[in-house]
Amino acid sequence: MNDEFRIAYLRPGQIIERINRHSVVYVPIGPLEWHGPHMPYGTDPLNAQNTAEEVCQRVGGVVWPTLYWGTERERRPDQLESLGFPTDRYIVGMDFPANSIPSCYCAEEIFALVVRDTVRQAARLGAKLVVLINGHGAENHMAVLKRLAVELTNAGPARVVFRLACVIGGPAASMGHADAMETALMMHLTKSVDISQLPPAGTELRYIDHAVVDGGGFDGKSPSHTLAAEYDPRRRSTPELGQQSFLAACEQIAGEVKEMLAKK
């Protein structure tokens, strides 16, 4: 069997061969989004793409071209207060006023249409299982994917499942946004991280200044509205930590996909 698994690089006969062997298509998903001044704009889709490719190499099937799409909603008053903003501010996702560029979010209805039709196309090629590998943690974004997975599975002919590209129940479960863990992940996957773009070590990182947020900032557990030391990328992020998180996520998802394929 040809070692190439990216569907855009395969000829028709090779696509048929791979899908006949393992009838699964992985669809990486995530928007271009602000991840602090020190991280790549494509952090979420790059994570999703690398995860999908690693899982595909372990299990089989084909990987769909990455969907650089994603959605976000305005922050609730309780979230705004937790982050250090006035509760009447209108702030969408991670597009904090101090950011130098905006993120590329789309409306929920557009996002749903893009994903729905991508799944339809994958099913037409013969996929019996479509795995949506998502790199973006926004609540409404994930709610759209979960809803579509249920809807499209019941509509058939393919089963559609949604998986977040991180370890569920592990260290990454508390992953914030552009914090130590996510920065480490990008250090492992890319050469695009530049910690020097953050203020010097020892300077407090207020959430509102850089949109670098730990789990406590989203959960209302940080009364100072600043990044906790244990989640500071200037102190903890290493490629080795990122590799550990990445491989653990891939192992978990690959195991789940193998189980799903075995039941078919």
Q: Could you tell me the pTM of the whole model? A: 0.95
CA-to-CA separations, 224 to 103, 204, 208, 221, in angstroms, rounded: 26, 10, 11, 9
pLDDT of residue 154 exceeding 50: yes
Set out the domains of the chain in order of their start, with CATH numbers.
7-256 (3.40.50.10310)
Q: Which amino acid is at 103?
A: S
At a CB cut-off of 8 Å and minimum separation 6, what does 113 contact?
A: none
Q: Using one digit for the tens of pLDDT, what is the confidence trace for 204-234?
A: 999 999 999 999 999 888 889 999 999 999 9
Closest CA to 71 of 121, 4, 143: 143
pLDDT band at 46 (very low <50, low <70, confident <90, very high): very high
Residue bearing tokens 């244990």: 230
Q: Using one digit for the tens of pLDDT, what is the confidence trace for 51-109?
A: 999 999 999 999 999 999 999 999 999 999 999 999 999 999 999 999 999 999 999 99
CA-to-CA separations, 253 to 65, 122, 137, 141, 190, in angstroms, rounded: 19, 20, 16, 20, 21
CA 123, 262, 62, 106 torsion: positive or negative?
A: positive
Asked if residues 205 and 235 have their Cβ atoms less than 8 Å apart, the reply is: no
